[in-house]
């Protein structure tokens, strides 16, 4: 089975749109997302444009604040503090990557956890790892929702996550632990990567190596989620060799059209969550 991320993302967006409409009728208020974009890095420009379009389609007010690449860290921190204090702003997102003069750690720490739609602030990270309610990073959340469309009860499943980044691998592990999976994280220092992958009922690849996972690396009944986005020549491919695996696993996400659309849908979902928390 090929998992259609576009279709699932559309379902989520429609649910969000209806809930926002209902909340607006009751409260007279609308969620608002502010994105800070620094420089003109092409992938970031495209991604932010897609975020803005998607937000407006579901009824979220969206603003992009643009800065030149040489902006000072102080200016960005001051703007974040201003947005933190603004009760009309539901969510704040600073688009990564950042130029070298700006500390990613300082920026992430500066965003109010209750407006942290990316789920990167240490408070949200700590809540997630402790099993408490938290804002969850968008890509891992999207992955989990896709997995649960295939298998609603994950208790006792063996999940193998390739990659240990703070953006994907680690939060993905926490989400799957919360679902009562047995979780293994593998990475560049892992001995016998192929053998570890073969143990997986659920395999999540988020390492940035084109076509790393091949036929013979994955069990027949595995669910395979490919987070990788790699350019090979003129093609965009994932971390998984899709053509080799598509007929040899239980379910698999394509690249593109799998996890990507879910990431933006979950950003909208997080923005709505932040908005609702401020209504109560």
End-to-end CA distance of the chain: 41
The yes-or-no answer on residue 85 being catalytic is no
Catalytic residue (one of 116, 118, 226, 239)? 118
Average pLDDT over residues 240-267: 96
Report pLDDT for 20. 98
Neighbouring CB atoms inside 10 A of 188's CB total 10
Neighbouring CB atoms inside 10 A of 91's CB total 30
Residue in 260, 271, 274, 262 with CA at minimum distance from that of residue 61: 271
Q: Which helix (H) or strand (E) holds 174?
A: helix 169-178
Task: Please return the burial class of 105, using the count of CB atoms within 10 Å of its CB with bins 0-12, 13-18 and 19+.
Answer: exposed
Average pLDDT over residues 80-98: 97
Give the pLDDT band (50/70/90) at residue 123. Answer: very high
Contact 62, 89 (CB under 8 A): no
Residue pLDDT, tens place only, 184-228? 999 999 999 999 999 999 999 999 999 999 999 999 999 999 999
Domains of the chain with CATH codes: 28-112 (3.40.50.10860), 138-260 (3.40.50.720)
Checking if the pLDDT of 280 tops 80, the result is no
Dihedral sign of CA atoms 121, 122, 125, 127 in order: negative
Residue pLDDT, tens place only, 48-65? 999 999 999 999 999 999
Residues pairing with 93 in the sheet: 35
Catalytic residue (one of 8, 79, 95, 269)? 95
The yes-or-no answer on residue 118 being catalytic is yes
- Rounded distance, CA 261 to CA 34, Å? 20
Checking if the pLDDT of 231 tops 80, the result is yes
The yes-or-no answer on residue 189 being catalytic is no
C-alpha to C-alpha distances, 11 to 23, 74, 144, 172, 271, nearest whole angstrom: 19, 40, 15, 22, 17
Question: 235 in helix, strand or coil?
Answer: strand
Contact 207, 172 (CB under 8 A): no
């Amino acid at each position: 089975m090929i998992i259609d991320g576009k279709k699932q993302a559309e379902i989520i967006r429609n649910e969000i749109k209806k809930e926002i409409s209902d909340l607006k009728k009751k409260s007279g208020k609308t969620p608002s997302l502010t994105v800070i974009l620094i420089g003109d890095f092409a992938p970031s420009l495209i991604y932010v444009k897609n975020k803005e379009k998607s937000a407006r389609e579901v009824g979220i007010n969206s603003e992009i604040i643009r800065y030149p690449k040489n902006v000072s860290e102080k200016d960005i921190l001051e703007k974040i503090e201003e947005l933190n204090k603004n009760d009309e702003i539901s969510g704040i997102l600073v688009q990564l990557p950042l130029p070298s003069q700006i500390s990613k750690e300082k920026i992430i720490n500066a965003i109010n956890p209750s407006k942290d739609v990316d789920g990167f602030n240490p408070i949200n990270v700590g809540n997630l790892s402790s099993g408490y309610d938290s804002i969850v990073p968008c890509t891992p959340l999207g992955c989990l929702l896709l997995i649960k469309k295939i298998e609603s009860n994950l208790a006792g499943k063996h999940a193998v996550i390739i990659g240990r980044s703070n953006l994907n691998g680690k939060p993905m592990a926490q989400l799957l632990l919360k679902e009562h999976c047995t979780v293994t994280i593998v990475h560049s220092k892992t001995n016998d990567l192929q053998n570890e992958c073969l143990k997986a009922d659920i395999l999540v690849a988020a390492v940035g190596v084109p076509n790393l996972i091949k036929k013979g690396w994955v069990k027949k009944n595995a669910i395979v989620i490919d987070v990788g986005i790699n350019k090979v020549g003129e093609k965009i491919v994932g971390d998984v060799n899709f053509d080799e695996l598509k007929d040899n696993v239980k379910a698999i996400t394509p690249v593109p059209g799998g996890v990507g659309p879910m990431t933006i849908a979950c950003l909208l979902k997080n923005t709505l969550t932040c908005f609702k928390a401020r209504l109560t």
